[in-house]
Structure 1
Amino acid sequence: MVPEQSNNDTRVWLVERTYSDDEQNLIILTYATTDGKQDYRKERALPSFTEMRDTTAAVNAAPENLGSVDDSDLQERYAAEAQRMQEAHAPNDAI
């Protein structure tokens, strides 16, 4: 469950899910602000059949954990997807 956004945290929306190329079996979740200018990345191990963890539509990220998206095309893509997710889902929705 995504807690209510605190004064310091920024709500970011899921914009991309990729799989690691290495042997670690990681899923890389990328969340972004609705303007696409900042992103937040989470790495998660692929779940086993007995362990399921939901990926939510949004998370709250501390400012020091946000990265800058400097590529204008990527900013535009992230902004469009973050806005689409915000319009289509509640923050706690499992995606």
Structure 2
Amino acid sequence: MTEDTDAVPVWLVERTYSDDEQNLIILVYATTDGERYLRKERALTSFSDVRDTTAGLLADPENLGWTSEEDRERYASEAQRMAEEHELDDVI
């Protein structure tokens, strides 16, 4: 994505390992109000495959989904915590 004034900051709220597929990490980033989220899947191809995970990202609004009501409060709380403690590009 190019520098876009419409980009939305999202913060890491969840990191899980897929039960269905080996070596698949699922990263979920959300807005601080918890209403929108971005899901990224990362396949690790070997034990030496190391890629940084950042505290946040600038996301294209077209790539954001709407959270369910059951996740919204939890995502908002975690996104707000991450935003207070980290810069977007902090490696965590």
**TM-score clears 0.5:** yes
For residues 72 and 21 of structure 2, what CA distance do their matches in structure 1 show?
Answer: 30
Q: Aligned pair count?
A: 92
| Runs of at least 5 residues in structure 1 that lack an aligned partner in the other structure | none
TM-score by length of structure 1 reads: 0.86
For residues 11 and 45 of structure 2, what CA distance do their matches in structure 1 show?
Answer: 21
8 Å contact from structure 2 (residues 23, 45) kept in 1 = no
Percent sequence identity over aligned pairs: 62
Structure 2 counterpart of 1:7, from 5, 8, 29: 5
For residues 77 and 32 of structure 1, what CA distance do their matches in structure 2 show?
Answer: 10
Root-mean-square deviation over aligned CA pairs: 1.9
TM-aligned CA deviation for residue 24 of structure 1: 4.0
8 Å contact from structure 1 (residues 47, 53) kept in 2 = no
Task: Specify the SS of the correspondent of 1:50.
Answer: coil
For residues 50 and 70 of structure 1, what CA distance do their matches in structure 2 show?
Answer: 36
Superposition map of 1:56-95 within 5 A: 56-71=54-69, 73-95=70-92
For residues 42 and 49 of structure 1, what CA distance do their matches in structure 2 show?
Answer: 20
Q: Which amino acid aligns with 1:35?
A: D
Task: Specify the SS of the correspondent of 2:73.
Answer: helix
For residues 53 and 70 of structure 1, what CA distance do their matches in structure 2 show?
Answer: 29
Task: Specify the SS of the correspondent of 1:77.
Answer: helix
For residues 47 and 88 of structure 1, what CA distance do their matches in structure 2 show?
Answer: 31
The residue aligned with 2:49 is 51
Q: Which amino acid aligns with 1:89?
A: H
For residues 49 and 18 of structure 1, what CA distance do their matches in structure 2 show?
Answer: 17
TM-score by length of structure 2 reads: 0.89
